[in-house]
Amino acid sequence: MLILCSSSVTRAELLKNADIDFVQKNCSFDEDKLVFKDPYEFVVNASFGKFKECIKCFNDNIITADTVISNGRNILRKAKSREDARKILLQQSGENIKIITSMWIKINSKVYGRVDETVYEFYEFDKTDLENYLNSNEWVGKAGACMVEGFCKKYIKNVKGYESTAMGLCIEELVKILKEERCI
């Protein structure tokens, strides 16, 4: 049994859809205290910080993950308000973005760390559609307020990488690790 150390509904859904047995638990880690400007450095340190905290809480098979978005100039984190979400989403409209996910896995006493990215090129977002999305509050808790499986899907011009990475957990690579460890 795998412990998903995350409160993310989307990560849980990815594991369910891959038929991976898991329970969802969480430990506290304050990623807001991290001050890295490089998105890769930030996401690795955030997911590893969660991993270290969860190892203290659970001595089992665990997985932690963190996801950020970069537009090449800034790290686009979770929006703190509706206006913040608008500002973050407008930085993605008509642009290329990288969605970067880092995950740490402890399975059968072995530790695996990964960083995966998916690159999206978006068409310009329709202003009315954007306002409707902002009103829906579906952006709450999402890295960069972005939902490639929802609002942003119709604006994808080009994509390189796995959608699951953009959703917060590269399930394709996790499955390879679990098969290697004979867990599935």
Count CA atoms within 13 Å of residue 90 on its CB side: 10
d(CA 28, CA 38): 23
Count CA atoms within 13 Å of residue 67 on its CB side: 27
d(CA 71, CA 56): 35
For residue 114, the cross-strand partners are 103
Residues recognised as catalytic: 66
